[in-house]
Amino acid sequence: MSRSLLELDKYVQTVLPNDLSRLEDHTDKLSRYLSQGQRILFQEEERDAKSTLRHLKSNLKILGNITAGLSQRDLREANKTIDPMRIRIEKVVHKFQEVCPGPTLLNVESLSHSTSEQDLMMAQEEIGDSRWQNVTMSPLEVQEVITPEQNVALQSAETLQKDLEEIQMLFIELAELAANQNAPIIRLEQHTEQTAQHIGTARNSLYYASKLKAAAFPVAGAIIGGMIGGPIGAVAGLKGAAIVGMGGVSIGAAAGWGIKKFHVWTSDRLHEKDD
Amino acid sequence: MSYEGYRNEAEECRIKISMYEQKMAESTARSLRHIDEAYQSGAEAGKMLDEQNEQLGNIEVNLDNIDSSCGKADRELTQIQTVFGGVVNYFKREKSTLKNSENSTQPANKEIPKLQSSVPVVARGKPEPKTVVDQNLDQIDNGLDILSEMALQLGDQIDDSNKKLDRIYDKQENVNTKVNKLNKKINRMC
């Protein structure tokens, strides 16, 4: 057996199976993380899977280089071991692509051909966003997210604002009501003031009327005295009539004057009580 | 998703969080403004109620004077009507049918507490939004205490005004009756 075949055998029996089993392991973990929505773990596992894939690719490249140097006879011999491995690689990679879709990184069919590293590295995997549609997001760099409690706090703040707006409207209405009753109260005050003045004036007029009335008392007294004394004196004679009459007039006038004084005194007393 | 995608997402979340905090700060600032305006309106209403209370007191005093004048005028008329009116008045004690405005003394107007500067603290040199929200909430708490105290004072003033108005109504009824009696008496004399 040639040296190349031995080397090929080593790769096919040992190296590639190791890579494939690791890739299978990665695929299992990725599908589990995807179903659980653990994006961070998925990302880390994906990185590891990519690394394994690159390793697999480089091993396949080496294998391709080995097979390129084989003779036709050895190549026929080698294909017997390479074909099953090829099928297995296709299965594992296909399963991996189901979890991480993207352009194929491997061209298993061209195992015999060498592929450049650049071609391999240029196959960028894009994780479709559609896989994460039903998964809750947990951003790596942000420590906190808007929690339901914060939403409740925001709603409470807005409710508080509305309530305070209502309170403000109540105070404004109160101020308007107070302003509206200003004019009637001012009118009321003016009216009562005027009424008090009028009543005061009327009372003064009555006071003076009372005094004027009192002035008539001496006159009335004199007349009454004369009318009573005159006839009585006339019985005694003319002289007696004159004397008694005069006396009656004087007494009447004096009585009237006394009544007037009393009258005026009471009026003054009433009037002074005001001052 | 690529690393760029994750970074954009993180940036989006950061923006959302800062927007939330900004909303909280703005909401509390608006609440503070409402409290400020409510306080201004309340102070204005309090001032007007004070003046009106004083005017009602004057009205009550005027009515008392009118009542007193009516009583005296009635006695003067009695004196004018009869010769012995003076004697009657001498022995007649002056009746005061109206209660003195014993309750017209206004309650000591408590000074309306001043609202501390309730300028909403939205941004002073752009502090952290959380600090602004906390400050605003503290001022809202203080403002609400003052508003409730003010509301109680206004309530007391309104109660006082209502009592005065009740007394004024009764007094004006009495005065009205007396003035009508005097008018009839004078008309009879004439």
Pure H helices in A181-237 = 182-236
Other beta carbons within 10 angstroms of residue B137's beta carbon come to 16
Residue among B23, B38, B45 whose CB faces A168 most closely: B38
Confidence of residue B95 (pLDDT cuts 50, 70, 90): low
Considering only residues B97 and A239, tell me which one the structure prediction assigns the higher pLDDT. A239
Q: Which of A266, A272, A273 to mutate to test the interface with B (most CBs of B within 10 A)?
A: A266
Confidence (pLDDT) at A135: 41
Are A263 and A210 a contacting pair, CB within 8 Å? yes
Record: contact B77-A192, CB cut-off 8 A: no
Confidence (pLDDT) at B3: 55
Confidence of residue B50 (pLDDT cuts 50, 70, 90): very high
How far apart CA A185 and CA B118 sit, in angstroms, is 35
Task: Sort out which chain A residues have CB atoms less than 8 A from B75's CB and list them.
Answer: 270
Confidence (pLDDT) at A191: 92
How far does A104 lie from chain B, in Å, by closest CA? 17
How far apart CA A209 and CA A212 sit, in angstroms, is 5
Q: Which residues contact B150 (CB under 8 A, 6 or more apart)?
A: B39, B42, B43, B46, B112, B113
Considering only residues A166 and A101, tell me which one the structure prediction assigns the higher pLDDT. A166
Confidence (pLDDT) at A140: 38
Q: pTM, whole model, 2 decimals? A: 0.54
How far apart CA B70 and CA A202 sit, in angstroms, is 9
Confidence (pLDDT) at B177: 93
Record: contact B77-A206, CB cut-off 8 A: yes
How far apart CA A187 and CA A203 sit, in angstroms, is 24
Task: Sort out which chain A residues have CB atoms less than 8 A from B172's CB and list them.
Answer: 192
Residue among A160, A178, A196 whose CB faces B62 most closely: A196
Q: For the segment A119-137, what is each residue's pLDDT rounded down to a tens digit? A: 444 343 433 444 444 444 4
Q: For the segment A60-78, what is each residue's pLDDT rounded down to a tens digit? A: 888 888 887 778 888 888 8
How far apart CA B139 and CA A47 sit, in angstroms, is 53
Are A225 and A259 a contacting pair, CB within 8 Å? no
Check residue A235 and report its DSSP letter. H
How far does A22 lie from chain B, in Å, by closest CA? 23
Q: Which uninterrupted H or E stretch holds A5?
A: helix A3-10
Range with lowest mean pLDDT among A12-21, B56-65, B116-125, B143-152: B116-125
Range with lowest mean pLDDT among A192-206, A248-262, B57-71, B141-155: A248-262
* B90–chain A Cβ distance below 8 A for any pair: yes
Written as one letter, the residue type at B93 is: R
Confidence (pLDDT) at A90: 87
How far does A227 lie from chain B, in Å, by closest CA? 19
Confidence (pLDDT) at A274: 53
* B189–chain A Cβ distance below 8 A for any pair: no
ipTM: 0.77
* B15–chain A Cβ distance below 8 A for any pair: no
How far does B110 lie from chain A, in Å, by closest CA? 18
Considering only residues A272 and A207, tell me which one the structure prediction assigns the higher pLDDT. A207
Query: Closest Cα to residue A117, out of A43, A64, A44?
Result: A64
For B169-184, the DSSP string reads HHHHHHHHHHHHHHHH
Confidence of residue B54 (pLDDT cuts 50, 70, 90): very high
- Torsion over CA: A174, A175, A180, A181 (sign): positive
Confidence (pLDDT) at B169: 94
* CA closest to B37 among chain A residues: A168
Residue among B27, B59, B69 whose CB faces A203 most closely: B69
Confidence (pLDDT) at A252: 80
Residue given tokens 């005296």 in the structure block: B72
* A132–chain B Cβ distance below 8 A for any pair: yes
- Give the whole-number percent of chain B exceeding pLDDT 70: 71
Confidence of residue A206 (pLDDT cuts 50, 70, 90): confident
- Torsion over CA: B68, B72, B75, B80 (sign): negative
Query: Closest Cα to residue A45, out of A133, A136, A125, A134?
Result: A125
Region B6-23: mean pLDDT is 74
Record: contact B48-A175, CB cut-off 8 A: yes
How far apart CA A195 and CA A59 sit, in angstroms, is 120
Confidence of residue A99 (pLDDT cuts 50, 70, 90): confident
Q: For the segment B28-49, what is each residue's pLDDT rounded down to a tens digit? A: 888 998 899 899 999 999 999 9
Which two tokens mark B78?
Answer: 């009695």
How far apart CA A228 and CA B141 sit, in angstroms, is 96
Confidence of residue A158 (pLDDT cuts 50, 70, 90): confident
Burial class (CB in 10 A: 0-12, 13-18, 19+), B81: middle
Region A130-157: mean pLDDT is 59
Pure H helices in chain B = 3-81, 85-91, 129-189
- Give the whole-number percent of chain B exceeding pLDDT 90: 39
* CA closest to B42 among chain A residues: A171
Confidence (pLDDT) at B46: 93
* Chain B residues 52-81 with a CB less than 8 Å from chain A: 52, 55-56, 58-59, 62-63, 65-66, 68-70, 72-73, 75-77, 79-80
Task: Sort out which chain A residues have CB atoms less than 8 A from B140's CB and list them.
Answer: 160, 164
